[in-house]
């Protein structure tokens, strides 16, 4: 059985998204995060539905596109590790450390 593991950086990303959206609507912020969690849960049955992350150049690092966000994850034998949730306008290449390199 495959399970979902959220990394600390991914949780931090979610908190930032919640805080940003929550400035205008705490209700919508909670609802948006619920939808992200629901989208990620689909990976349990279909871990390869996301496309490969071009910046990673690896088959096991993939992403789901959810509205304007990239949910970046690592596929492993028994788990899916959620590495990051970033806005699509942000460049991964500008981050000092790529999550799949840790």
List domains and CATH numbers for the chain: 3-89 (3.30.2310.20)
Provide the phi-psi class of 47: left if phi over 0, else alpha when psi is between -120 and 50, else beta.
alpha
Q: Average the pLDDT over 83-97 and give the result.
A: 73
Name beta bridge partners: 61.
74
Long-range contacts of 44-53 (CB under 8 A, 24+ apart): 44/2, 44/3, 44/4, 44/80, 47/2, 47/75, 47/80, 48/75, 53/92, 53/100
Query: pTM for this structure?
Result: 0.87
Q: Other C-beta atoms within 10 Å of 17: how many?
A: 18
With cut-offs at 50, 70 and 90, classify the pLDDT of residue 97: very low
What are the tens digits of pLDDT across the range 6-29? 999 999 999 999 999 999 999 999
């Amino acid at each position: 059985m495959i399970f979902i593991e959220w990394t600390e950086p991914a949780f931090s990303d979610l908190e930032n998204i919640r805080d940003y959206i929550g400035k205008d609507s705490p209700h919508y912020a909670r609802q948006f995060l619920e939808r992200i969690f629901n989208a990620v849960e689909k990976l349990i049955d279909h871990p390869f539905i996301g496309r490969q992350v071009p910046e990673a150049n690896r088959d096991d690092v993939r992403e789901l596109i959810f509205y304007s966000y990239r949910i970046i994850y690592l596929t492993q034998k028994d788990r899916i590790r959620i590495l990051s949730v970033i806005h699509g306008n942000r460049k991964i290449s500008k981050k000092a450390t790529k999550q799949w390199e840790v």
